[in-house]
């Protein structure tokens, strides 16, 4: 398991955090996801590649800086 952090400037509310978390957990049920609304970051501890997590975030309509 590795921990990755993504800057996601499009996060504005708890709904955004929930959408991103649910998307990642759908594909990676074992992942640990932490969304920081103020810092606009998503931290993910997972065995998935950084690129696949990035694609999951983008798939639900968010931008990764």
pLDDT tens by residue, the chain, 65 residues = 899 999 999 999 999 999 999 999 999 999 999 999 999 999 999 999 999 999 999 999 999 99
Whole-number Å distance between alpha carbons of 9 and 33: 17
The encoded tokens of residue 60 equal 């639900």
- pTM, to two decimals: 0.94
The encoded tokens of residue 28 equal 């990676």
The encoded tokens of residue 61 equal 């309509």
| H helix intervals, 3-49 | 14-27
Residue 57, pLDDT score: 98
């Amino acid at each position: 398991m590795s921990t990755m952090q993504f800057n996601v400037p499009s996060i504005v509310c708890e709904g955004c955090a929930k959408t991103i978390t649910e998307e990642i957990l759908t594909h990676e049920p074992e992942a640990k996801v932490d969304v920081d609304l103020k810092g606009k970051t998503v931290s993910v501890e997972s065995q998935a590649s950084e690129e696949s997590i990035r694609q999951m975030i983008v798939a639900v309509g968010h931008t990764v800086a």
